[in-house]
A and B are shown apart, each in its own frame.
Chain A
């Protein structure tokens, strides 16, 4: 019996961070009805945590910058396994998306000639990140949210989707519940856009909040979509390490962009010790040159602290393992030293990095204008995700679109800082536009069979509450254990034994999760919510572990101590995860698509 409320929208967007909001705005502008579902309150999604800025080749600070350089930087950062079409569209369209944000009310810091100011960031050849202090994400999400509320989008706050509904292959809706009462909802939709963000909660140390349990990845997977590049998980080099309760919280790369340096316990700037060949010619070989670069000297090369995140994270791990770490198991990140070079250093730090100042002062009792921070790697972002068509953002399942972190391709094996906010805008827009078109062109077909799918999803969702007296594990128990194991076995430095063990462990935990229990009732019950998200977390964990175990090379964020080098053949190979006919996860190898000559030429010119 159907005990659920039914909503119908032309386009249903799942997730209300930057990508979801931008997609909803675009779909709405195309004249279709739009529903937006989010697990939290509107405006609280992880985009709010983005600090550094949004990468767009505006050329306001250095007019040598243009889309082709941004494209080449993105491909180099991604170790050339990116979806080159996405990297091209992203670089080409990001400037327009940034300017549009300003037209909607975003306020960015300015250059002397009153244009949008841009800052340096790891892997970007020129100063490219439009920003406002270190709270760019808040500015962006608030701008999109405030713009969006006037467009007639139906927002379903604090709702969670547990299953997609299909007609044949095509996705025609989604089924979920409202968190407040635990009442079920069926959303019929001509097209569905997944914008659910990442998977950080699969690991113990993470910058991600409770929301990031790979919901979109897993919903798409269960609906038969391809996931690619799942082995590439970004560990941001600088998360807080102390006190224990804030371990993992992000410390923006902007600290290094503003001149912050990494030191070990011997006070040595260890990043000069290991500069990868791909970046030798563009990296400073002395401290003075690095400093000049951060101060805008166009003839200087970047300091090694601004190498790509994968590399910096590994160098930090190396120092810690060698016993040269800080007291609480990190290394030192020092911005206070710039007072030696800037007369108004203290004010400058507070102005450029206000939320970092605030965060350390209030959570760790550290004044970053006087003391170094202690930092270490934290699980931050997943490059892998739902395979989409670069132009339309449609997944391999008709009617199912994806944008932002849950979609894969743009970032290849490693994402450059700043490319995420621009990713959300560029591909959020494209997803919204194309989903609206798809919904207009394809009449919705919804019948008894679809209602049965909804009923099945309802039964599955209720199970953890119904079996609460049967003695299975509680949701937190399984979740914590999974996070521990993923951190230990599938973390920053990987090897075959650990990864094989990782796969086995996840499979065993999947079995245990089948009897997970959630005490209490359906009314705002975090235990129940955690139990339902667990299924998604286990799916993405399995995909990550399997793909990582298969890729016998080191590339970007995927580092294998048993295969430390890059391998030419693997460089041409994409790993595809898909649900098999028997319900088991399958992993297949596919050739990376060859880049057209004009793009190849850009890469060569920028080498």
Chain B
């Protein structure tokens, strides 16, 4: 057992600062355990979100020593405990209090994405036939736990605050999940180009690096969508054809 110092950001939208807390760390503890222990020992009003404690719900997102992480999946033994460990809220969204941010923007964005629209059922009983390989292909994107760490690290949102023009990696993954859904028939490409602002992404792959579900966001979701947008709207031959046919 060792006593470790944590520097935890305390404050709200009007400002705040880091406060120091000491707590004992035992074998196998994760950062979220330390936060809970601090809550119980000395700061019962320290705000933080959490639910499943097993990396499945995506509630406890924060920045630990400057890295976007799920606190429940960050083991203390992987951090240098001879110096203070900093924990602060994610940066891409407004602060509510302490480690809790207002992520409601993400819920609004999702509402604007055209919903799932299945093809007509394949069988008379109203059911569909789908091959397992088509199920497997879309799994990667459907694993997303909506922790919004990809949104946090994306410089378009984090540094340039393009929340009005850009939906962020999470929703490109969502769009890819719908796009590659074996039954979906909707076309969302124009929306991705316009409201989605997919062109803002310059493929720095930061989102992929921080994804706790190990979704290859850039390569498998964003780039294929970008290619489809280009094919649809910026293909020179298609453009020429449009000019001649007037369509």
A residues in contact (CB < 8 Å) with B: 40-46, 48-49, 99, 102-105, 107-110, 113-117, 132-133, 135, 138-139, 142, 146-147, 149-150, 155, 157, 180, 209-211, 242-246, 249-250, 355, 358-359, 362-364, 474-476, 480, 518-521, 523-528, 530
A209 to B32, CA, bound (A): 13
Question: Are the C-beta atoms of B135 and A108 separated by less than 8 Å?
Answer: yes
B52 touches A364 (CB 8 A): no
How near does chain B come to A256, taking the closest CB pair, in angstroms? 19
A480 touches B103 (CB 8 A): no
Give the shortest distance, in Å, between A402 (CB) and chain B (any CB). Answer: 22
A40 to B49, Cβ gap below 8 A? yes
Least CB distance, B36 to chain A, in whole angstroms: 9
Determine the chain A residues whose CB is within 8 A of the CB of B121 once the complex forms: 103
Give A99 to B50 CA distance when docked, in angstroms.
32
Whether B58 and A44, one on each chain, are in contact in the complex, defined by CB atoms closer than 8 angstroms, is: yes
17 A-B interface contacts by CB (under 8 A): A43-B57, A46-B51, A46-B52, A48-B57, A99-B126, A104-B116, A105-B118, A105-B183, A110-B135, A115-B127, A132-B135, A135-B143, A244-B27, A250-B54, A362-B73, A363-B54, A524-B98
B201 at the interface (CB under 8 A from A): no
Contact indicator A109/B135 (Cβ below 8 Å): yes
Residues of B within 8 A of A108 (CB): 135
**A243 to B54 CA separation, bound complex (whole angstroms):** 12
Does B230 make an interface contact (CB < 8 A)?
no
Question: Given A48-B52, A150-B115, A243-B27, are A110 and B107 also a contact pair (CB < 8 Å)?
Answer: no
- The range of chain B's interface size is 35 or more
For A527, give its contact among B44, B58, B118, B182 (CB under 8 Å): B44
| Cβ 8 A contact of B56, one of A49, A476, A520 | A49
Chain B interface residues toward A at CB < 8 A? 12, 26-30, 33, 39-40, 44-59, 73, 75, 96-98, 100, 102-104, 107, 110-111, 115-116, 118, 121, 126-132, 135, 138-139, 142-143, 145-146, 178, 181-184
Report B5 CB to chain A, min CB distance, Å.
19
Residues of chain A contacted by B56 (CB below 8 angstroms): 48-49, 135, 138, 355
Q: Which of the residues A49, A104, A244 comes within 8 Å of B52, measured between beta carbons? A: A49
> Do the beta carbons of B103 and A519 come within 8 Å of each other?
no
Question: Total contacts A to B, CB within 8 angstroms?
Answer: 169
User: B133: nearest residue on chain A (CB-CB)?
Assistant: A110
Name the CB-closest residue of A to B146.
A43
User: A108-B135, A138-B145, A249-B53 are contacts. A146–B45 as well, Cβ < 8 Å?
Assistant: no
A104 contact set on B, CB distance < 8 A: 116
Residues of B within 8 A of A150 (CB): 111, 115
Please report the C-alpha to C-alpha distance between residue A211 and residue B52 in the assembled complex, in whole angstroms: 10
A211 cross-chain contacts in B, Cβ below 8 A? 51
Q: Are A114 and B53 in contact (CB under 8 A)?
A: no
Given known A-B contacts A41-B103, A107-B182, A480 and B54 have beta carbons under 8 A apart: no
Are B128 and A102 interface neighbours, CB within 8 A?
yes
Cα–Cα distance between A359 and B30 once the two chains are bound (Å): 13
CB contacts (< 8 Å) of A109 on chain B: these are 132, 135
Contacts of B27 in A (CB 8 A): 243-244
Question: Interface SS of chain B: helix, strand, loop or mixed?
Answer: loop
Distance A508 CA – B121 CA, assembled complex (angstroms): 60
Contact of A520 among B28, B44, B116 (CB under 8 A): B44
Are A110 and B98 in touch, CB under 8 angstroms?
no
Contact of A41 among B49, B55, B73, B111 (CB under 8 A): B49
**Provided the pairs A102-B127, A245-B29, A246-B28 are in contact, do residues A526 and B47 lie with their beta carbons within 8 angstroms?**
yes
- Residues of chain B lying within 8 A (CB to CB) of residue A364: 28
Residues of chain B within 8 A (CB-CB) of A520 are 44-45
What CA separation (Å) do A41 and B49 show in the bound complex?
A: 9
> Which residue from A116, A245, A474 sits with its C-beta under 8 Å from B28?
A245
Q: In the complex, A180 Cα to B95 Cα: how many Å?
A: 10
> How near does chain A come to B154, taking the closest CB pair, in angstroms?
20
| A526 proximity list for chain B (CB < 8 A) | 39, 44-48
Residue of A nearest to B39 (CB): A526
| A41 CA / B57 CA spacing, docked (Å) | 10
Question: Which residues of A are found within 8 Å of B138, using beta-carbon distances?
Answer: 107
Residues in A neighbouring B50, C-beta threshold 8 A: 209-210
For A180, the chain B residues whose CB sits under 8 A away are 96-97, 100, 102
Q: Please tell me if the beta carbons of A524 and B107 are within 8 angstroms of each other in the complex.
A: no
Assembly CA distance A355 to B48 (angstroms): 24
Q: In chain B, what residue has the closest Cβ to A58?
A: B127
Task: Please judge, given known A-B contacts A40-B59, A103-B118, A114-B131, whether A519 and B107 are in contact too, CB under 8 Å.
Answer: no
- In the bound complex, how far is the Cα of B70 from the Cα of A358, in angstroms? 14
- A563 to B: closest C-beta gap in Å: 36
Tell me the bound Cα distance from A139 to B143 in angstroms. Answer: 8
Give the CA-CA distance A530 to B46 in the complex, in Å: 12
**Smallest CB gap from B127: residue in A:** A99
Contacts of A362 in B (CB 8 A): 55, 73, 75
| A525-B28 in contact (CB<8A) | no
What residues of chain A lie closer than 8 Å to B126, measured between beta carbons? 99, 103
Contact of B44 with A476 in the complex, beta carbons under 8 Å: yes
Contact B130 A105 (CB under 8 A): no
Contacting pair A524 B51 (CB below 8 A)? no
Residues B44 and A475 in contact, CB atoms below 8 Å apart: yes
Task: Tell whether, in the assembled complex, residue B55 and residue A359 are in contact, meaning their CB atoms are under 8 Å apart.
Answer: yes
How far apart are B122's CB and chain A's nearest CB, in angstroms? 8
Given A139-B142, A243-B28, 5 new contacts (CB under 8 A): A45-B51, A105-B181, A113-B129, A133-B139, A180-B102
Would you give the shortest CB distance from A34 to chain B, in whole angstroms? 16
Of all A-B residue pairs in the complex, the 4 with the closest CB atoms, nearest first, are A243-B28, A527-B44, A520-B45, A114-B129
Beta-carbon nearest neighbor of A99 in chain B: B127
Question: How far, in Å, is B180 (CB) from chain A's closest CB?
Answer: 10
Q: Which one of B51, B118, B139 lies within 8 Å of A132 (CB-CB)?
A: B139
Residues of chain B within 8 A of A99, CB atoms compared: 126-127
Most buried by B among A45, A364, A524: A524
Please give the distance in Å from A456's CB to the nearest CB on chain B: 25
In the bound complex, residues from chain A placing their C-beta under 8 Å from that of B182 are 107
Question: What chain B residues lie within 8 Å of A41 (beta carbons)?
Answer: 49, 59, 103
Please give, as numbers and ranges, the residues of chain A lying within 8 Å of B129 by CB-CB distance: 113-115
Contacts of B143 in A (CB 8 A): 135, 138
What is the bound-complex CA distance between A519 and B40, given in angstroms? 12
Does the CB pair B132–A110 fall under 8 Å?
yes
For the complex, give the distance between the alpha carbons of A106 and B58 in Å.
20
| A521–B45 CA distance with the chains assembled, in angstroms | 8
Which B residues lie within 8 Å of A147 (CB)? 115-116
